[in-house]
Amino acid sequence: MPEGLQVFNDSGFIQIDANYLNLELKQRGSFNLAGSNTANGGSTSSGLSVTVNGESPVIAIQSTTFCCAYPLSQNGNSFTFYIYNGDNQACSGEYFVFDNSSADQASDSGFQVFNPQGRLVFDAGKKYLRVLDYWQVDDNPGESISRDYPGKSVAVVMCDFGYRYVVAPSPADPTNPNYAFLQSWLNCSKTQGSKLLIGDRATYTNAFAQKDPGMVTTSEYPSRWLVVDVTNY
Amino acid sequence: MAYGLQCFDAQGRIILDITDSISKVIGVVQTQANVAGSLQVPDFAGGTRVFVSRRATPPSGPFPAQGKRCEVTVNGRTISWTAGRGPVVFTYGVY
């Protein structure tokens, strides 16, 4: 960069220059969800859909019970996410949708950085994705495990489902190879101000399902979470 | 903050503090189905951490292991992904 502005952090890393690129907050909203009842095959699954227009949006949530948000569908530039309540208690929360940053100005005042082509690349008035942590949960978190980010209001993007399941012969028909008894659990997140909790919540319990030849008896996958700072957002 | 740059909104709230980590997107990767890969994160500086942002792909029904999923992991300066059933798009950056 022969001329212009460069901003470094305490580690000497260039945080802002003419090549700055980030996701910015495009939409936010609140939600209230009834509790789910996962017994007997997930008899009551509580959640809601959120549809946004964009290029490559991600959704972050804050929730008072263990929830997760994931994409349901895409139709052109229309993306639909689903926020699922993994607890049997009612919950409330907020969602934040981030997407590719535009060249539009947040306002006519404030701190702005442009690239050599005159395109706005940073605007202090915009609400960018502020990452606090990238957390991979390898082991079963059980009731919950947590991390705290003092002074921050945290929300979380689920980057990978974490789940495990166990398949056993059906108790009702144990000799029938075509049916199985299934229990499965899903990692969900819950926020308490600056604290993020990850917990394991049942999804299908005592479910009877048609067995597939490719099915294995036990499987476990880690979850991955992008923890973001939405303080004052 | 002993030195640096702070910006405030009209209500006097801090909206930018350079002593905080400001996330920065470095690039986007689209994987191919059934192909594993890895990359070194460019513009990497010591003490800066790497993140990956993607939209989680739901398990396919109650028996998700019927299809392999693409696992994206970060180890030091390297982002790696395993061969998954379908293509995956992820954004990576530093914070």
> Across the interface, do B56 and A12 touch by the CB < 8 Å criterion?
no
CA distance B88 to B95: 22
Instruction: Kindly give the confidence (pLDDT) of every residue in chain B, 95 residues in length, as a single tens digit, with 9 standing for 90 and above.
Output: 455 677 777 777 777 776 666 788 888 898 988 899 999 886 665 556 778 877 666 555 444 444 577 888 888 788 899 888 778 888 888 88
* Radius of gyration of chain B measured on its C-alpha atoms: 18
Specify whether the CB–CB gap between A197 and A156 falls below 8 A.
no
In a domain, A50, yes or no: yes
Question: Which structural domain, as residue segments, surrounds residue A218?
Answer: 23-100+130-229
Q: How far apart are CA A216 and CA B34, in angstroms?
A: 20
**Residue A150 structure tokens:** 């003092």
- Model pTM greater than 0.90? no
Q: What digits encode the pLDDT tens for the residues B43-56?
A: 665 556 778 877 66
Q: Does A11 fall in a domain?
A: no
In a domain, A106, yes or no: no
C-beta atoms of A15 and B22 within 8 A: yes
- Total tally of structural domains belonging to chain A: 1
Average pLDDT over residues A58-82: 93
Which helix (H) or strand (E) element contains residue A41? helix A39-42
- Nearest CB neighbour to B24, from listed A10, A20, A68: A20
Most confident residue range from A82-96, A121-135, A151-165, A169-183 = A82-96
Our measurement of the distance from residue A56's CA atom to the centroid of its chain's CA atoms, rounded to an integer in Å, reads 14
Does A86 map to a domain?
yes
In a domain, A16, yes or no: no
Q: Which residues of A touch B22 (CB under 8 A)?
A: 9, 15-16, 22, 128, 130
Contact A22, B24 (CB under 8 A): yes
CB B58, CB B88: distance < 8 Å:
no
Residue A196 falls inside a structural domain: yes
User: Could A165 and B63 be called an inter-chain contact, meaning their C-beta atoms sit closer than 8 Å?
Assistant: yes
HSE, side-chain direction, 13 A CA sphere, residue A165:
26
Residue A108 inside a domain? The answer is: no
ipTM, 2 decimals? 0.77
Residues 6+ positions from A106 with CB-CB distance below 8 Å: A123, A124, A125, A126
What are A87's two structure tokens? 């607890």
- Residues near A73 by Cβ (< 8 Å), separated by ≥ 6? A79, A80
Residues A173-190 have pLDDT tens digits of: 777 777 777 778 889 999
